[in-house]
C-alpha cells in the first residue's frame, strides 16, 4: 500500500497490512519530527507533496525493491500538512521471508523516498520558517 | 482569420513549496505558441515571473508526472509542474 495522506499514521493499521503467513520477517522504519533542524530549534514541520507524482514515484521504488529482494508486502505512507515535534511523518514497512531482505528493502525505500519523491518540508520555529535543502529530481 | 498568426496554447503550470510561495499562486497560466518545448516554456515563465530567476537552476519541470528533457514538446493537455529540490521523509 502506497499513500500520501493528511491523516494521523497508525502503526497498528500498518502492521495489519503487512501480515503474511509466508513472511518470517517484518522491518519498519518510522520517521518523526524532531525538535532541531538545520536552522535551529523546530516547533513543527509543514509537509507538502505533489501527491499524484509522489505516489507514482513511490510505486516505482516499490517495484524496484520487489525486483531486488522479492519482498512479500510493503507499506509506504507519507503524511503531509503541519506536524508537531514528535509526530510521525513517514512509515515504511516491509515483510519478507527472511530478515536480510526486509532490512535492505526498508533502507532502500526510505533512502529513495527522500531523494526521488516530490515532497517538501518547511521547518517552522517561533522566529522563522525555512524550506529544507533537498535533492533536485533527475 | 489570418493564417500568418501562430496558434497559441494556454499552458497551466502547477507550483510547489518555495516556488508557490514566491509567486503567491498554486497554479499559473502561460500563453505560448503551439508546439513549444519545455526549455521555451521555462524562459517564458522566468520572463513573466522574474522572482523565480534566482531559482532557475534549482527546479525541474515535470510533464505528466515525469522528469523530461528540455526538448520535449508540450501542449495545453499536458500536466506541467515546477518542482524545487525534494526533501521528504
Q: What's A70's domain CATH number?
A: 3.90.1170.40
Where helices occur in A1-138 by DSSP H, the ranges are 11-18, 51-69, 99-116
Residue A22 phi/psi, 5-degree rounding, is: -90, -5
Which pLDDT score is estimated for B3?
Answer: 57
What cell does A134 get? 533537498
Which pLDDT score is estimated for B56?
Answer: 87
Closest CA to A99 of A72, A131, A119, A76: A72
Residues A49-84 have pLDDT tens digits of 999 999 999 999 999 999 999 999 999 999 999 999
Q: What is the CATH number of the domain that holds B62?
A: 3.10.20.30
Pairing of strands B8-15, B80-83: parallel
Which pLDDT score is estimated for A4?
Answer: 97
Q: Is B18 on the interface with A (CB under 8 A)?
A: yes
Task: Summarize the confidence of residues A12-32 as an average pLDDT.
Answer: 95
| Statement: residue A37 has pLDDT above 90 | no
Distance CA A121, CA A127 (A): 17
Which pLDDT score is estimated for A38?
Answer: 80
Q: In this complex, do A131 and B62 lie within 8 Å of one another by their Cβ atoms?
A: no
| Statement: residue A39 has pLDDT above 80 | no
Task: Say how many CA atoms lie within 13 Å of A27 toward its Cβ.
Answer: 18
Give domain status of residue A14, yes or no: yes
Give domain status of residue B89, yes or no: no
Helix (H), strand (E) at residue B60? strand B60-63
How high is the mean pLDDT in each 10-residue block of chain B (89 residues)?
72 98 97 94 96 94 95 96 97
Q: What's the total number of domains in chain B?
A: 1
Which pLDDT score is estimated for B7?
Answer: 85
Measured between CA atoms, the residue of chain B closest to residue A88 is: B89
Give domain status of residue B75, yes or no: yes
Inter-CA distances, A18 with A12, A22, A71, A106, Å:
10, 11, 11, 13
* Interface predicted TM-score (ipTM): 0.92
B chain contacts of residue A89, beta-carbon cutoff 8 Å: 89
Closest CA to B11 of B25, B33, B21: B33
Range of the domain at B15: 8-83
Q: Which residues pair with B61 in a beta bridge?
A: B82
Q: In this complex, do A120 and B87 lie within 8 Å of one another by their Cβ atoms?
A: yes
Give domain status of residue B88, yes or no: no
- Average pLDDT of chain A is 95
Which pLDDT score is estimated for A40?
Answer: 86
Closest CA to A25 of A113, A110, A105, A111: A105
Contact, A105 vs A71, CB < 8 A?
Answer: yes
Helix (H), strand (E) at residue A83? strand A81-84
Give domain status of residue B36, yes or no: yes
Give domain status of residue A135, yes or no: no
Q: What's the total number of domains in chain A?
A: 1
Which pLDDT score is estimated for A85?
Answer: 97
Give domain status of residue A82, yes or no: yes
Which pLDDT score is estimated for B48?
Answer: 97
Range of the domain at A99: 2-129
Q: In this complex, do A119 and B83 lie within 8 Å of one another by their Cβ atoms?
A: no
Give domain status of residue B1, yes or no: no
Distance CA B16, CA B86 (A): 10
Amino acid at each position: 500500500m502506497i499513500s500520501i495522506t493528511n491523516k494521523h499514521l497508525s502503526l497498528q493499521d500498518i502492521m495489519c497490512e503487512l501480515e503474511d503467513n509466508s513472511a518470517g520477517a517484518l522491518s519498519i522504519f518510522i520517521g518523526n519530527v524532531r525538535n532541531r533542524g538545520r536552522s535551529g530549534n523546530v516547533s513543527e514541520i509543514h509537509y507538502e507533496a505533489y501527491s499524484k507524482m509522489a505516489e507514482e514515484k513511490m510505486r516505482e521504488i516499490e517495484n524496484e525493491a520487489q525486483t531486488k529482494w522479492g519482498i512479500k508486502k510493503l507499506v509506504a505512507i507519507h503524511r503531509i500538512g503541519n506536524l508537531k515535534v514528535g509526530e510521525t511523518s513517514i512509515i515504511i514497512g516491509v515483510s519478507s521471508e527472511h530478515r536480510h531482505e526486509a532490512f535492505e528493502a526498508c533502507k532502500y525505500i526510505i533512502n529513495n523516498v527522500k531523494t526521488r519523491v516530490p515532497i517538501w518540508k518547511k521547518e517552522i520555529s517561533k522566529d522563522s520558517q525555512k524550506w529544507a535543502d533537498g535533492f533536485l529530481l533527475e | 482569420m489570418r493564417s500568418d498568426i501562430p496558434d497559441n496554447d494556454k499552458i497551466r503550470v502547477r507550483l510547489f513549496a518555495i516556488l508557490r510561495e514566491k509567486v503567491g499562486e498554486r497554479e499559473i497560466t502561460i500563453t505560448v505558441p503551439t508546439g513549444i518545448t519545455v526549455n521555451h516554456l521555462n524562459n517564458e515563465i522566468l520572463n513573466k515571473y522574474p522572482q523565480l530567476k534566482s531559482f532557475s537552476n534549482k527546479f525541474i519541470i515535470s510533464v505528466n508526472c515525469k522528469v523530461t528533457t528540455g526538448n520535449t514538446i508540450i501542449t495545453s493537455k499536458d500536466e506541467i509542474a515546477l518542482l524545487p529540490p525534494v526533501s521528504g521523509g
